[in-house]
């Protein structure tokens, strides 16, 4: 049931992006460059896709959330909140939007720091060869979350470019 719900959410997110792209094709003038809107929607859709596939992967590989996963996901959630704030501020306060985009970049660096430290600690626990599959599964989930954060950072980069054009 969880997997089916995740697939439905993924289909819904992809549908929203297709509608946005269709609207872009029909709109002559947009408040920001059409290419920037397209790139931002692509990065945002990737974040949603990574969130859903990470949950699916955790379910399939039977990986439970440990402290590292909880920490990285909390940071990615903050990235998503900063992206939302940036988009809300963009029309009236582009420089404030840029500050929020910069915060996403800082948070992405923190996710990477937690990721690297967690992988190091994870493999330090490899005391027996039979534990290796479990460790590799967990590292795979860590990597997925890191990639999700990278996509949020890519969205922040696009927003930064938009701010440069508007400010």
Domain CATH code at residue 89: 1.20.58.220
Distance CA(116)–CA(121), nearest Å, equals 9
51 HSE (CA, 13 A, CB side): 20
In which domain, by residue range, is 157 found?
2-166
Residue 20 has pLDDT above 60, yes or no: no
pLDDT band for position 156 (50/70/90)?
very high
* Averaged pLDDT of the chain: 86
pLDDT band for position 165 (50/70/90)?
confident
Residue 5 has pLDDT above 90, yes or no: no
Find all residues with CB under 8 Å of 66, minimum gap 6, and list them. Answer: 138
pLDDT band for position 21 (50/70/90)?
low
Distance CA(142)–CA(71), nearest Å, equals 11
Total-model pTM:
0.81
Q: Which of 87, 79, 2 is nearest to 48 (CA)?
A: 79
| Confidence (pLDDT) at 150 | 96
Find all residues with CB under 8 Å of 117, minimum gap 6, and list them. Answer: 68
**DSSP code of residue 131:** G
Number of domains in the chain: 1
Contact 39, 160 (CB under 8 A): no
pLDDT band for position 140 (50/70/90)?
very high
List phi, psi (to 5°) of 75. -65, -40
Longest dimension (CA), the chain: 62
Contact 29, 113 (CB under 8 A): no
Distance CA(110)–CA(137), nearest Å, equals 22
28: helix, coil or strand? coil
Distance CA(159)–CA(148), nearest Å, equals 17
pLDDT band for position 39 (50/70/90)?
confident
């Amino acid at each position: 049931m969880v997997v089916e719900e995740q697939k439905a959410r993924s289909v819904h997110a992809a549908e929203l992006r297709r509608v946005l792209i269709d609207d872009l094709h029909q709109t002559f003038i947009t408040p920001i460059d059409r290419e920037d809107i397209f790139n931002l929607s692509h990065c945002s859709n990737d974040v949603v896709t990574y969130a859903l596939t990470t949950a699916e992967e955790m379910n399939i590989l039977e990986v439970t959330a440990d402290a590292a996963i909880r920490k990285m996901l909390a940071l990615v959630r903050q990235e998503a909140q900063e992206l939302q704030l940036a988009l809300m501020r963009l029309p009236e306060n582009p420089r404030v939007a840029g500050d929020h985009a910069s915060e996403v970049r800082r948070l992405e660096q923190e996710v990477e720091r937690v990721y690297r430290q967690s992988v190091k600690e994870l493999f330090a626990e490899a005391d027996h060869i039979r534990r290796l599959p479990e460790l590799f599964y967990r590292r795979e989930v860590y990597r997925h979350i890191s990639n999700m954060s990278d996509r949020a950072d890519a969205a922040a980069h696009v927003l930064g470019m938009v701010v440069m054009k508007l400010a």
